[in-house]
Copies of this chain bind each other. A is one copy, B any other.
Amino acid sequence: MGSIFKETLGLYTDLYELTMAQGYFFCQKKDQNTSFDYCFRTNPYKGGYTVFAGLQDFIDALNEFTYSKSDLEFLKANGFKDEFLEYLRDFKFSGDIYSVKEGEIVFPNEPLLSVEGNIIECQLVESILLNILNFESLIATKAFRIKHISGQKLFADFGLRRAQDFGAIHASRAACIGGASSTSNTLAGKIYDIPVSGTMAHSWVQSFDSELEAFRAFAETNPDNTILLVDTYNTLKSGVPNAITIGHEMAARGEKLKAIRLDSGDLAYLSKKARKQLDDAGLHDVQILASNQLNEYVIKTLLLDQNAAIDGFGIGTEMITGKSDAALDGVYKLTEIDGEPKMKFSENIEKITLPGKKQMVRYFDEEGMFYRDGILLQDEKAEEVDTIYHRIYPEKNTEVSKLKVELLREKVVEQGNILLQHKSPVEIHEYLKSRAALLPDEHKRFISPHLYKVGISNKLMATRNALTQKLRTLH
């Protein structure tokens, strides 16, 4: 799976990364060994968890993260110096990357992924890393919230037309990781091996002299997948009755009308009325699909409060853009240079980053459910950590010595070579499902979910506190 772009991606970065890289180069810092952490600060949608996604796409993009002749000419025209451009000519990421698995359930302030390498390569990949991981995690989380509430009922990604431009391609992949059973985005289907789906728009119906004629022609050309859009003129007076006529005609030919689709009006009211019309006509097997401005909240009230007779959903704008959140607030912070821990200091203690190379562990309760996550220094042995502490208020802490513990991260890139095994979005969704089953339900509530607790080890806290003191003195 290569990139979808013709262009090399080395310029798909904020200019300041290149400006700094050139600065490091001329300050004789280019061979410094550094480590950067990726983490986010807030779960999207005021939710209780986040689904980590985008890892495979980010790593694939690194393969294309090089500089073509025209890229270098562009940089030269923008004042970059020949000696540095010569360095970029051969640039290829050659560092290591550690990451949690794609599809993992994760939480704020966790070092989900770390990049280790020389300071230039670590700096240059920042923007594309954030661009891809922030977005796919946002969309996968949204899709899984929808999956969580729609249960066994399938939903398709219909978002292409309202997606944020070519973001649509990774968005459809992330939607599938989160639980969409198919996508309307045919190119995403081809690239990522996602099932594709889609039948008719209003224009099909309008293009015939009558709705009945339009339905009949569609059934004849698509006998195996006849889904009729019934709201072009009048859902209950025209659309459903015409669909019933076609359903009977198909039955007479030994074929089957698969479903009708509602795309406007009140979906609870119309679905129940349409169900009755179909049932009264003996078409009990014909499904009712619904689309139009759906999200997890609307689906929840349709299904749970109003018992809507809907068998599946098509979901557009809100899933593909992650509405009402525009972005996951992921950041990428320097944590170590040549063995020296580093951190971003802040008067706002919430924003102080955690210094040093780290690892992540997950603790399980007696029922085998997720209980706490721990952030340790890389050289600590997980089994020797007996207590983890709240990042800011250490008097809040948890004894973990008797709990089952699991390492959450693995090396996915080594000296620039990809170790990560390729998985399809559907396979990643299966992993997500298995993990989400271990997340207690109270973290999945849409409103005021229970806060999942993430602690740090004593050694990490001591490292941070010592560095805080040092920086306070210096600045």
Residues of A within 8 A of B (CB): 2-7, 9, 11-20, 22-24, 26-27, 29, 32, 34, 36, 70-71, 74, 78-79, 119, 123, 126-127, 130-132, 134-136, 158, 160-171, 184-187, 189-191, 196-204, 206-207, 210-211, 217-218, 221-222, 224-225, 232-234, 237-238, 264-265, 317-318, 321-324, 326-327, 329-330, 333-334, 337, 342-348, 351, 471, 474-475
Contacts and interface: CB of A to CB of B under 8 A. Distances in A.
Q: This chain: how many copies in the complex?
A: 2
Contacts of A130: 160-162
20 contacts: A5-B6, A12-B160, A17-B198, A23-B218, A26-B221, A27-B217, A74-B186, A127-B160, A131-B161, A135-B163, A135-B164, A162-B329, A164-B164, A164-B167, A165-B171, A166-B167, A167-B168, A206-B344, A234-B345, A234-B347
B15 A198 contact: yes
Given A210-B474, A233-B475, A203 B333 contact: yes
B321 A324 contact: no
A34 B221 CA distance: 21
A19 B27 CA distance: 59
Contacts of A327: 162-164, 317, 321, 323
A386 to B, nearest CB: 32
Contacts of A36: 203
A404 B339 CA distance: 73
A337 B204 CA distance: 11
A351 to B, nearest CB: 7
Give me the 8 closest cross-chain CB pairs, A-B, nearest first: A16-B198, A167-B167, A15-B198, A164-B164, A321-B326, A164-B167, A233-B475, A130-B161
A23 B187 contact: no
